[in-house]
Amino acid sequence: MNENVNNQPNTASALQPEQILEDLKEGNKRFLDGRSIHSGESSLKKLKEFAATGQFPKAIVLCCSDSRAPVEIVFDQDIGDLFVIRVAGNVVAPSLVGSVEFAASTYGTSVVLVMGHSRCGAVQATLDHIEHTLAIPSENIHDLIARIKPHIFPIAQIKELSYDEKWRRSVDANVLASVSQLSTSSRLIEDLVLHGKITILGAVLDLNTGYVRFLDQ
């Protein structure tokens, strides 16, 4: 057994994973209804409190860097609520796995959510690369696309699908692939999953509506 699992400090939220997910869903509903409750004044107060006490994030979120997908806003969460890791295409790579490991083992955070979004540019760039063999302008962008490509390649091959349908399905497939990869990405995370200390799941934000659809449902 990994000793990091045994040595986890007891700093986790008292909420069970199901309650944390319900809290995120309720926050998304408030956002959709225009009833967000987190004001600038209370957030500043919390920031000052957490500066003194440290953080106790209730969930870890790996999501795309897209400026239209701000996690805290769409879930109506406040400072200190979410440990957010953002990378174009919500891909799984070593430093991002390390970030999840850090938060899960340091704060005992029990929920890891991979959140993609509709009309994702990183997924679109990968789809276009597959369909048209477009040149990729840098090795670093190539690394991102190479991580997404295997997960969406079969979808790109389905000739009867429209481009938009391929794009939509590819976003879902890419999120589910990141969930799967993350679950087996390291000994530490495998042990946390095995012992029921973290739950990893996926969701997709619809940019047209603001609704976050959880992929386990």
Smallest distance from Zn ion to CB 117, Å: 6
Looking at the Cβ atoms of 79 and 148, the one nearer to Zn ion is 148
C-beta closer to Zn ion: residue 193 or 207: 207
Determine contact, residues 171/117, Cβ cutoff 8 Å. Answer: yes
Does 171 participate in binding Zn ion (rule CB under 5 A)?
Answer: no
| Cα-to-chain-centroid distance, residue 201 | 8
In the bound state with Zn ion, the residue whose beta carbon lies nearer, of 104 and 179, is 179
CA angle 197, 210, 58 (to 5 degrees): 20
Considering the rule CB under 5 A, would residue 127 count as an interface residue with Zn ion? no
Beta-sheet strand order (sheet of 111-117):
82-86, 59-63, 111-117, 199-205, 212-214
Euclidean distance between CA atoms 145 and 161, whole angstroms: 21
Hey, which residues between 63 and 102 contact Zn ion (CB under 5 A)? 64, 66
Q: How far is the CB of 121 from Zn ion (least distance, A)?
A: 5
Question: CA 105 to CA 120: how far, in whole Å?
Answer: 30
178 or 199: whose CB is closer to Zn ion? 178
Contact set with Zn ion (CB under 5 A): 64, 66, 120, 122
